[in-house]
Amino acid sequence: MTTPGPFDPYQLGPVRLRNRIVKSATFEGVMPRGAVTPELVDFHVGVARGGAALTTVAYCAISKNGRVNRHSLVFTDDLVPDLVPTFTNGGSFDDEKPWGEISSVVRGTCYFHKQNYGFMRFLRDSGPKLWLTDTQNPDSPYETAYFNDSSLPDNVDPLNLPSYNHIFQFELAESRHPTGKFEARNIQFLSWVPT
């Protein structure tokens, strides 16, 4: 048996990393008052361009009382859109497809399911108006991707869909469904969020 090298791919739960290089948490010092800044994003993009398959933010508290200082991130609903990735994690960094374009990998939930098909909703961009979840509204920052049940992973029971508690990761392809722009392919089940 050959020992894997640092540049060999690695399966981390449901996510496949392009190599085994991980940047562990370090305080970046670019989060004034706990805000996600362009400097924070640029820092992590630089780490990814340098070859790391995974990078983590320094510290993110789940409440203001959990901060180590006043500049620590606090995980709130308002913060989540700022942490949405703008690129996927496979292949060469420079060849990455921008988030939300054909062939990119995104994350979302199933909001509609009927018999053998359904629709995933994913955040197209982290702009304002996050409350506009109707993807037919032109001001909505969300998009829809059609899927067939045969594309679901084996560990997902379609009888449990739709569900906002199931988080999926999937590749966007051109839709074969007449009413859609995108189709979700290579669907992976990432996590279940209890209510």
Tens of pLDDT along 134-145? 888 988 888 999
Is residue 48 within a helix (H) or strand (E), and if so which, with residue range? helix 38-49
pTM value? Answer: 0.58
CA-based end-to-end distance of the chain: 44
143, 111 contact by CB (below 8 A): no
With 80 as the cut, is the pLDDT of residue 104 above it?
yes
Q: What is the dihedral of CA 65, 66, 69, 72, to 10 degrees?
A: -120
Domain residue ranges in the chain:
10-87, 105-192
- Whether residue 128 is predicted with pLDDT greater than 70 in this model: the reply is no
The more confident residue out of 113 and 77 is: 113
Q: Which long-range contacts (CB under 8 A, 24 or more apart) does 62-69 make?
A: 67/34
Residues near 38 by Cβ (< 8 Å), separated by ≥ 6? none
- Asked whether 194 and 168 are in contact (CB, 8 A), the reply is no
- Do 126 and 38 form a contact (C-beta atoms < 8 A)? no
**Does residue 20 or residue 25 have the better pLDDT?**
20
Query: What was the pLDDT predicted at 162?
Result: 93
Under CATH, to which class is 105-192 assigned? mainly beta
